[in-house]
Amino acid sequence: MAGNGAITEAQMRLLLPKSADFGLSEQEAYATIADYSLSAVASDELRHQFELAEETFSLDDIEDYLQANVATPRHDSLLQRIRAELRRGNRSLPSGVMLLIVAVAVIFAVAIGYQAILHLSNRGPAPGPPGSDPGEVHSKPTPPPGETPVMATPPPQVVVTPGPTIPPVEPDPPSGMLRLEPLQAGDPPPFEIHISEVTCEHYSQYLRSVLETPPPGWPVGGSYPPGKAKIPVTNITWSEVTGFGQWIAEQHGWPRTSVRPPTIQEFERATRGVTIRGHGNPQAPDYWGVARLWQYDQPSAVMSNAWDRIIIVGKGQMYDMIGNVAEWGNDQQANERAVLGGGFNDQSRSFNAMQTRWMTRDTRSPWIGFRYVHVLTP
């Protein structure tokens, strides 16, 4: 392939019919020419910018953007190739970098096109014929009778979906507790809530202190399983959660009944914030699918999932409220207690983590853990 720069559109039209001479289909030739063009015009500084983009945006993010904002191209093979590489997770060099360049270039093209449309829409009326008054309004000429006027093709509408406005990240409180006050009708009285789910390490401290029986599968003596220190504790009953709460209250000198699982109202209040994934609303029924929380098949370390961090303006962050493991709640319905949020076993993309479930208080499950609240006015 000759030339010292990018292949122009006219050159591409000439080259594609000759693809058979080189044993290539037109699709293969198009992809090859596109890779060559991008590599030819990319300066060292531009390549550095693409490397920064690769660190900032995951391949899943780029695929989401392509699916949501890019219309069907004239040559489907290139976009199909990008998506195939994204699904395979191919990040090898040089093809992986070139494919990322193609994806980012498409995003840049969409943004430039959008700005061009805005520019054209803001331009004033076209000037009139020579010698006419600049302020005079000139209408379009009327075509002769019987002649069909030629209608100009309107420019394509580019829909740019704005992302969430991310508030500043506040430092996590040393106590691990976030104080929340009522903001609207129906909100609960002021309370403090633990920002993360209780870990195996924390629960182990309780077991060794009060000599309680550990959850099924734990070593004798109350020690947590190896490698599970920061994993949320599960397989505990609602009654055992209550015992842990009384122990926490005693540690702080609070009334014994002032520490308990959160109510449905308190859970809703603590999830009323902004996330950095998708539309940014963790309470939306589709957020489980937007954040891809259905992809997990086991619990992960608390506070480790960036998509499951809720930023509450002026307060701080709540972690793992939507996913990781579901959590015991304090509300009662007949002989059952509320189970709040979603767990790693919820595999449906359409799962709604804000929909309360109910379990008997003696239920043990590998996908149900807990966090606790401190009631300020018991």
For residue 48, tell me if it sits in a domain.
Answer: yes
Total-model pTM = 0.61
Structurally, the chain folds into a number of domains equal to: 2
Domain presence at residue 284:
yes
Residue ranges making up the domain that contains 87: 9-121
Residue 240 CB partners (closer than 8 Å, separation 6+): 212
The reply to whether 321 and 235 lie within a common domain is yes
Distances (CA, A) of 183 to 169, 260, 266, 270, 338: 20, 22, 12, 12, 24
Please tell me the predicted confidence (pLDDT) of residue 166.
Answer: 81
The two three-digit tokens of residue 190, written as one number: 């002021």
| One domain for residues 215 and 279 | yes
Tokens 């069909």 correspond to 148
**Is 162 part of any domain?**
no
- Asked, for residue 55, whether it belongs to a domain, the answer is yes
**Domain closes at, from 96, 121, 146:** 121
**Residue 108 and residue 233 in one domain:** no
Q: Is 1 a member of any domain?
A: no
232 lies in the same domain as 358? yes
> Is residue 100 assigned to a domain?
yes
**Residue the block writes with tokens 């599968």:** 217
What pLDDT sits at residue 145? 59
Residue 141 lies in a domain: no
Q: Are 259 and 246 in contact (CB under 8 A)?
A: yes
Task: List the CATH number of the domain containing 326.
Answer: 3.90.1580.10
pLDDT of 159? 56
Surface-to-core class of residue 267, CB atoms within 10 Å of its CB (0-12 exposed, 13-18 middle, 19+ buried) = buried
pLDDT by residue for the chain (378 residues), tens only, comes to 444 555 665 666 676 677 677 777 766 666 666 555 555 555 555 555 555 554 455 556 555 555 554 444 444 444 555 555 545 544 444 444 445 555 555 455 444 444 444 444 444 444 444 444 444 444 455 555 555 555 556 666 655 556 678 888 889 999 999 999 999 999 999 999 999 999 999 999 999 999 899 999 999 888 999 999 999 999 999 999 999 999 999 999 999 999 999 999 999 999 999 999 999 999 999 999 999 999 999 999 999 999 999 999 999 999 999 999 999 999 999 999 999 999 999 999 999 999 999 999 999 999 999 999 999 975
